[in-house]
Amino acid sequence: MGSLSIWHWLVVLVVVLLLFGRGKISDLMGDVAKGIKSFKKGLAEEDEAPKAPAEAAEPPRTLPHQATQSAEAEKKPV
């Protein structure tokens, strides 16, 4: 009783075709295909993008309150 026969699937297919029509389903599948193509194109463009050299990046700067806390910690005996 758990499995569906071919007749069940045919009835489901007929109901789907009646509800959506042949044109809407083909339009929907075309839109899905366009979405997949644009997604793949976006991934390919991301891989080809030139990356900035590491030496051009600025070194990290310390904030004044961080510098005073570390200096105070060095002065205090443990």
Domain borders along the chain are 22-47
Question: Which residues, in sequence order, are CB contacts of 17 under 8 Å at separation 6+?
Answer: 25
Distance (Å, whole) CA 55 – CA 35: 38
Amino acid at position 32, single letter: V
Give residue 8's pLDDT band: very low, low, confident or very high (50, 70, 90): very high
Model pTM above 0.75: no
Q: What is the pLDDT of residues 32-64, one digit of tens each?
A: 999 999 999 988 887 765 655 556 567 777 777
What pLDDT score was predicted for residue 11? Answer: 93
Torsion sign, CA atoms 64, 70, 73, 74: negative
